[in-house]
Amino acid sequence: MVEDARVLEALKTVMDPELGRSVVDLGMIRDVKIQGNNVEFTLALTTLACPLKDRISAEAETTVKALDGVDSVTVHLGEMSQDEKQKAFGMQTGEKPLAETLNDIHHVVAVMSGKGGVGKSLVAGLLAVALRRKGLRVGVLDADITGPSIPKMFFTKIARPQGAPVGIIPPQTSTGIKVMSINLILSSEDDAVIWRGPLVSGAIKQFWSEVFWGDLDYLIVDLPPGTSDASLTVMQSMPLSGVVLVTSPQNLAGMVVRKAAQMAEQLNIPILGLVENMSYFVAPDTGARYDVFGPSHAESVARKVGTEFLGRLPIDPRLAVWSDEGHIEESSVEAFDPIVEKLLKVMPEGKCKPVFK
Ligand SMILES: Nc1ncnc2c1ncn2[C@@H]1O[C@H](COP(=O)(O)OP(=O)(O)OP(=O)(O)O)[C@@H](O)[C@H]1O
Ligand SMILES: [Mg+2]
């Protein structure tokens, strides 16, 4: 004899792939009717336009059919009402967009410097790659609209975000890093130039609240240079675990990094550490090491801003190729390994925003 409970128990193994949760937990199964060896139920989706509806429905049918004592299964497709969606997603969230409610992001780390061109985007990219290689779930939010550094680093051809009922679905890189950038939406690289502050801030907030990031261990945010509106928006509207500062060996870079540090401090955001990029060059033929920009000041800058010195990265022409031609995920940068290990040690525990579970 088949019972409702057994049917529901079996259906708990059927996931909505987009939401990453079982159709039972999402409240999508209703009107279970059992007559003899025949089972009938309704599968209510977030929308009937769901591109995965046939797949979910077929899986639900096969799963129930596999139960002892079941001969035939009829699945009716339905749609959840707005109210039901609110209830199902456990929302006491007022006007929060659905994506923000469903996202479960443990750490948000912004990469910042006072100065342009010191390698923020490169450090953000390397960090995402290193964390992904550890098997973690990683996203990159590009908050710098002035250049397509992030898309260029991760994609060899343009990848577009998709619209879905739960929000904007970010494209994924070949190793599964989710990436969102204004530059993935614009039709031409030059379009962003005319964007003004409020428009940029609006887009960044949308990237936080309307992009369906799903469950992430780390969301890495690449900031534009300096202490602009975009940086302020990120720091004020996202629950940052902290910022990583990037500098280069010139004196001036040290001075401007202190400005960036001041901004983080004023907004009560922890400074996780400082990375010095383009510190030295190792001649590939002789192995001799050259301090191209003179001796490093990074340790003393770190001390002055009261943060951990995470380490140095060399000037390496291969890095420019990997990062500018879509191959950052194939990079191997020995000097970056200790930087990541140190950073993970100083990462604050816990979650930015526990939801749903
Ligand atoms: N250590 C390095 N060795 C070789 N090339 C590097 C290194 N670091 C950065 N580059 C190259 O320098 C350029 C600038 O780096 P990147 O875009 O990461 O800097 P940024 O600080 O993000 O710049 P912006 O302020 O414009 O956002 C890129 O072409 C990058 O590939
Ligand atoms: Mg950059």
pLDDT (tens digit per residue) in 24-81: 888 899 999 999 999 999 999 877 777 788 899 999 999 999 999 999 999 999 888 8
CA 105 to chain centre: 8
Residue 170, ligand 1, Cβ within 6 A: no
The Cα–Cα gap between 344 and 138 comes to 14
pLDDT at residue 97 in the model = 83
For ligand 1, atom 6, the nearest C-alpha belongs to 320
pLDDT at residue 43 in the model = 94
Rounded to 5°, the CA angle 300-304-306 comes to 110
Q: Is the pTM of this model over 0.85?
A: no
Q: Which ligand is nearest to the CA of 322?
A: 1
244-265 as b/e, with b when 16 or more CB fall inside 10 Å? Answer: bbbbbbeeebbebbbebbebbe
Q: Which segments within the chain are labelled E, that is strand?
A: 15-16, 21-22, 29-35, 38-45, 72-79, 104-112, 138-142, 162-164, 167-169, 178-181, 215-222, 242-247, 271-276, 281-282, 289-290, 309-312
At the top level of CATH, the class of 4-88 is alpha beta
CB 213 within 8 A of CB 105: yes
> Which of 211, 102, 123 lies closest to 167 in space, CA to CA?
211
CB-neighbour burial class of residue 181 (10 A; exposed 0-12, middle 13-18, buried 19+) = buried
* Distance from Cα 119 to the centre of ligand 1, integer Å: 4
pLDDT at residue 353 in the model = 42
* Distance from Cα 215 to the centre of ligand 2, integer Å: 25
The token duo for 337 is 């390994």
* Distance from Cα 194 to the centre of ligand 1, integer Å: 23
Residue 153, ligand 1, Cβ within 6 A: no
pLDDT at residue 356 in the model = 32
CB 168 within 8 A of CB 161: yes
For ligand 1, atom 30, the nearest C-alpha belongs to 320
User: Which residues of the chain carry a pLDDT beneath 50?
Assistant: 91-93, 352-357
pLDDT at residue 282 in the model = 93
Closest ligand 1 atom to 277 CA: 1
Residue 331, ligand 1, Cβ within 6 A: no
Domain chopping of the chain, boundaries: 4-88, 98-346
Residue 315, ligand 1, Cβ within 6 A: yes
Residue 319, ligand 1, Cβ within 6 A: yes
CATH topology for 98-346? Rossmann fold (3.40.50)
Proportion of the chain in helix, strand, coil states, percent, rounded to 5: 35, 25, 40
Q: Which residue has the tokens 């964390």?
A: 131
For ligand 1, atom 8, the nearest C-alpha belongs to 119
